[in-house]
Structure 1
Amino acid sequence: MKHFIFFITVVFVGLFLALLNRNEKGFNSGSVTTLRVFGYASFTGRWGAGPLLKEHFEKTCKCKVEFIEGSDSGILLQRLKIEGESLGADLVVGLDQFDLSKAVSEQSWRKLNIGDMPVYDSVKPALSNSFFVPYDWGALTFVARRNDAGRHPSKLDDLLDPVYAKQIALQDPRTSSPGMQFLYWVIRSKGEDAGFEFLKKMMNQAHSFSPTWSTAYGLFTNKQASLVYSYVTSPLYHLVEDKDKNFVALPFVEPSPVQFEFVGIPEFCRHCDLAEQFVNLMLSPEGQKIIMEKNYMFPVMKGVMEGTPFESAMTVKTMDEVEMLSTSEVDRLLKRWTEIRRGEVN
């Protein structure tokens, strides 16, 4: 009987200690602050800049960083509008200049006190909004394979050549930032009415209008399309990562548009101070180098790309002006594009 009582006592004490240890672990893990960063897939994904920034940040912040993935940068605002505060985002990464007006009209944001930044002169016009700060930028054009037979296009009208029928991978401007950049490029280069006439003809040239940049680029790399609308740094990616020299960014007569990517802190942030610290990391020389080498975009800070392959990657002439379109203007252009896409315009 004594042995039985002793056995029961040992079992009870063991269970009690195990439960205590479990609760202690749960309490400790629950007490770790978690910074939630909402961004598009190529930033937050395994090969993007996000994971490496997270690793560096967690070394000093005494916190955890958790990513919320938004597929493509063009979808970020849609999810943010639908889910709002329930999304739990402390930081939003990846809006471009065409998103800012809508972002301010649909959400409240904290002002960012970033002070004087040693940015390139071309970046300064993108610093005009006190709620968002650019962390990288890129120029867009068409990317082709060097060994493809025939002459590569050198102006927009060349894209209408029958040889490119169903051979151009484009993005949907309603969901994709590069897609909106292409729409803007055509309108700025040709004027609105002539531009939409051109876009109507492009409907037959497009292999598809993918919802995201990555989907469109995958069609191109899988050789389902001859051309893809992408970044001038895309060939650099293949050269560095794959040792493949077969890709080229095409210079066009029409100056290429420039996309800036911004970061902002929503007013409903739970860990706002940590969010500001993460922004500071993104803008530091170390963070800028990570973003440049992982996103394959140009840094906004001086002194980061000097002496790197990125210094010679700009192979196209770009637009001089950085235009921030209003929400109503973006919506109006998208409405006209949608009508053409649906065949509602004769």
Structure 2
Amino acid sequence: MKKVLSVIAVMMIAILCISAQSVSEKSEDQKTLTVYAYDTFCGDWGAAGSIIPAFEEKTGINVNLVAAGNASEVLNKVMLEGDKTQCDVIVGITDDIAAKAYGVLESYDSPYLETIPSEYVFDAEHRLIPFDYGFFAFILDKKSGITAPTSLQDLTKDEYKGKVILIDPRSGSSVGVGLMMWTKNALGDNWTDWWSTMSQNALTMTSGWSTAWGLFTEGEAPLVISYTTSPIYDETGLQQALVFSEGHEATIEAAGIIKGTKHRSEAEQFIDFLLSEGQLDLGMANAMYPVNSSIELPAEYNNAPRAEKFFLNTDDQVAAALKQLTEAVLK
């Protein structure tokens, strides 16, 4: 009997050892991809909530998602960490700060690049690959009954005094900066005159989008600077995105693979997922347009007109414009 028990004990130990080895090998084989992204992407209402689990389920790749602030802060984190960074993929770098990012990125010719209209591909070397885009625009509350302005200059008229909410570009708000560059590109040499007039004509100039949008939805003013896609969540049908023939400032969000990553294959799969199955979730969560032209947009986008003419800028141009505006008007 003792001999039988001894044999059984040895067999059980062997089985446990084999099982432990199997679990260990599985753990070693399972890859973990570290993704740095901006806070909104990672937040409770962000796209990551649906995209990351779907990607993990499809590929079997674990994702270590790191929220690192706004787009500039995400990039700064990678640059400060240098060769020691754990980041494999960076998400949310916008076209206006792209030049700073190129040095830490590797090129990737994703097969989904052919689905992206060429006008939104701002990096010919494909170190940053666009995943969504939008246009800054003024949103009108139609229940106000006011006549819709048809240009930036219209907003300087007396009939709109106290009826417009702006965002201060000095705050670092992407919408405030977008408005600044929009006026500079659309109005030409005398663009700061617009800001001089609007500093008196606007109801207020807030420090960020959330405050501005809150005032607008509370009925404090019938016009607010935002995005052409902002009305996609409007169930009342009373918000109208105004598209001006003079053109609009665009913003394009992109993702890239960090130079020297040890998980190149996994990083490529993640980029491809963002450009395919993840496209609609990205667009809806970010209130932006998906870049993949083959994606069928839901009815919510019927109230989100695209601008036919748009402008893009580099970070140097933004810095120069901010300096000029601060010295001329916003002292």
Do the structures match in fold with TM over 0.5? yes
Aligned length: 308
**2:125 counterpart of 1:137:** no
Identify if the C-alpha distance between structure 1 residues 290 and 116 changes in structure 2 by more than 3 Å, giving closer, same or farther.
closer
Q: Structure 1: which 5+ runs fail to align?
A: 1-23
Structure 2's unaligned 5+ residue stretches are: 1-20
1:68 matched residue in structure 2: 66
Q: Could you say what secondary structure the match of 1:130 adopts?
A: coil
- Asked if the contact 2:115/2:294 (under 8 Å) is kept, the reply is no
Which residue in the other structure is 2:34 paired with?
36
Structure 1 position 319 matched with structure 2 position 309: yes
| Corresponding residue for residue 283 of structure 1 | 275
**CA RMSD for the aligned pairs?**
3.3
Q: Which of these residues, 283, 299, 312, is aligned with residue 292 of structure 1?
A: 283
- Partner of residue 89, structure 1: 87
Matching of residue 301 in structure 1 with residue 298 in structure 2: no
Which string of whole-angstrom CA distances, capped at 9 and with x for unpartnered residues, describes residues 223-264 of structure 1? 4554322221211122xxxx3222111232422232221111
What secondary structure sits across from 1:280 in the alignment? helix
The one-letter code matched in structure 1 to 2:169 is: D
Q: Distance in 2 between matches of 1:80 and 1:341?
A: 35
**Selected match of 1:337 from 313, 325, 331:** 325
| Counterpart among 153, 157, 179 of residue 153 in structure 2 | 157
Q: Does 1:267 align with 2:259?
A: yes
Matched-pair contact (CA < 8 Å) for 2:192–2:329? no
Q: Determine whether 1:233 maps to 2:220.
A: no
State the distance in 1 between where 2:34 and 2:271 align: 13
Identity %: 27
Using structure 2 for the length normalisation, give the TM-score. 0.78
Distance 2:243 2:146 in 1: 16
Tell me whether 1:185 sits opposite 2:175 in the alignment: no
For normalisation by structure 1, the TM-score amounts to: 0.75
Change over 3 Å in CA distance of 1:97–1:119 after alignment to 2: same
Cα deviation, 1:7-35, whole Å, max 9, x if unaligned, reads xxxxxxxxxxxxxxxxx9xx999966543
Aligned pairs for 1:92-107 (under 5 A) are 92-104=90-102, 107=103
- Map 1:244-255; keep pairs closer than 5 Å: 244-255=236-247
- What is the match of residue 168 of structure 1? 165
